Structure 1
Amino acid sequence: MKINWGTGLVIGMILFVGFIMFFVIKISTDKKYDYDLVTEEYYKRELVYQKEIDAAANSNSLLENISGAKTNDGWVLTFPGNLDYSKIKGNVLFYRPSNKKLDFQEPIQLSAQNLLIPDARLIPGRWNTIVQWNYDGEDYLYKEEIVY
């Protein structure tokens, strides 16, 4: 049987589209390729965005902001030294963009200016750190992308 160029072109296009569809379906259904790029409550978070802007502005107005550093024991967040650490309340969210199952939240309970996140909680890779804290009725927000 002889195939002319028109039939060959149609067969080639069908095979190409089938090849692309195979990979689209494979990546869409395989859990190995499951990457979440936004949080679960995306729209709910958008409604309180102005509060986050105000809290971030409060943090930027401080003489000294929160700083984070890697140590042998884990990740240490150091709060401003000019504030009374016993009045600081809030929580720390560690958000993993590549896998929501690794996200975790820690309440801020300080016995000094430092908060230690244990090494066992953090696996190597990129983390988004979000610290929402309150001091004397003012809300503050600190965000940092870290590679642990």
Structure 2
Amino acid sequence: MNWGHKIIIVFILGAAGIVTLVVKSMRTRIDMVTGDYYAEELKYQQNIDAQKNAHRLTDPVVIAQTSDSVEIIFPRECLDAELKGEITFYRPSDSRRDFSVPVQPDEYGKVLVHRQRLDRGNYRIKVQWELDGTPYFLEKQFFVQ
């Protein structure tokens, strides 16, 4: 085989490699954090204010993991009041695993999310609630084991 054939083979292999990369990149899922990015950006200052309100609570909101559930525990001052809001479990690696639950704590201030709804891995938990007309917001990275 002469050098001309070898050059043609190298060009064909290179072109096949490029085509393979293009096909693989076209099939890769790209998940956005939110579909309505610009509207979320406009609400960002409200989230900052709500985070400040959450830091002013006497006790922080605690997110803990047990063998069968993830617990979101609200502080004492939230126990006797009517809370409105939602808890969002955002999975950065797969948006199909995202879900939300309403903020409906029990008499101990706990909201339980069963492990069957969660895959092992990294989540960003966003807790948004309102207490006596004041908005609160907490965002925390959490690893489910």
Alignment-derived partner of residue 110 in structure 1: 105
Q: TM-score, normalised to structure 1's length? A: 0.83
Equivalent residue in structure 1 for 2:118, among 119, 122, 142: 122
Alignment-derived partner of residue 135 in structure 1: 131
Which SS does the other structure have where 2:19 is aligned?
helix
Asked whether the equivalents of residues 126 and 138 of structure 2 are also in contact (C-alpha less than 8 Å), the reply is: yes
Matches within 5 A, 1:21-60: 21-29=19-27, 33-60=28-55
Q: TM-score, normalised to structure 2's length? A: 0.85
Amino acid corresponding to residue 124 of structure 1 in structure 2:
R
Which is further off, 20-29 or 72-81?
20-29
- Structure 1 residue 147: deviation in Å? 0.9
User: 2:110, 2:125 → 1: CA distance?
Assistant: 15
Which SS does the other structure have where 1:139 is aligned?
strand
Matches within 5 A, 1:51-70: 51-70=46-65
- Structure 1 residue 41: deviation in Å? 1.9
Which sections of structure 2, spanning at least 5 residues, go unmatched? none
Matches within 5 A, 1:10-25: 12=10, 15-25=13-23
User: 1:85, 1:104 → 2: CA distance?
Assistant: 27
- Structure 1 residue 35: deviation in Å? 4.1
Say how many residue pairs are matched: 143
Which SS does the other structure have where 1:86 is aligned?
coil
User: 1:102, 1:85 → 2: CA distance?
Assistant: 32
- CA gap 1:85/1:28 in 2 versus in 1, 3 angstroms: farther
- Structure 1 residue 101: deviation in Å? 1.2
User: 1:13, 1:37 → 2: CA distance?
Assistant: 37
Amino acid corresponding to residue 115 of structure 2 in structure 1:
D
